Amino acid sequence: MIDKKAFRSLTYGMYLISSNDGDKLVGCVVNTFQQVTSEPPQVSVTINKQNATAEAIQKSGRFTASALSENATMELIGAFGFKSSRDIDKFVGIKYGMDQTGHPYVAEQMVAWFSARVIQTLDVGTHIIFVGEVEEAEVSSSEKPMSYSYYHQVKGGKTPPKAPSFEGDSSPVGSSSESSSTDSSAATPATANGTPQVAWRCTVCGYIEYMGELPDGYMCPLCGAGKEFFERIEVDPS
């Protein structure tokens, strides 16, 4: 028997992994970036094969990683974690830099960044593990780095379906039924005539959309999360 709750005791950080696909800049959110050795300095990252970022790293042989701060916004996380680089340019409107080889790294809302050259890959089924030797690294802020548990328990964030730690449900990792609902006291208020109004709340960033049903293909206008990341609520339109 495998109790999936056991995996919730593992600790992770929150990182934006970036690379180039020709002239196109790509990136995604991961919690699987980690140091492997100190001499030489080596790191690894695990990314879903279907991600555009994984394909770009395979082609370019390089990747960068930006360690997010606790103050990173859900809009930034949502854009990199719940949208595809095949569909949008994730770097539009954000501050980013280039390493010495011309590969991008996110340069805002983060505490440090790394640039690595891939020296080994390992196919692990749905994902690929990239091992890279770090050739550049810089501390950018004294703020606290964001942990995966902080993202879930404080930010109220969700796990994208392609993530290695996705458990097949929409409840925040490590949350109770109380903490998994944002402002539950306001979820079912009545209107003046006693009839609540139906709305939909993005479980990634908290945005509320007032409509009876969300259409297919709907995406959150703030963070870009898809329809599947919205929960039905009842609100007082007044």
**H helix or E strand, kind and range, residue 76:** helix 74-81
Q: What is the pLDDT of residue 192?
A: 45
Which of the four pLDDT bands, split at 50, 70 and 90, describes residue 219? confident
Domains of the chain by start residue, with CATH: 4-153 (2.30.110.10), 184-235 (2.20.28)
191-215 confidence digits (pLDDT tens): 445 555 889 988 877 778 888 899 9
Q: What is the pLDDT of residue 236?
A: 61
Q: How many residues does the chain have?
A: 238
Q: Is the pLDDT of residue 168 over 60?
A: no
103 exposure class (CB count in 10 Å sphere: 0-12, 13-18, 19+): buried
Mean pLDDT (the chain) is 82
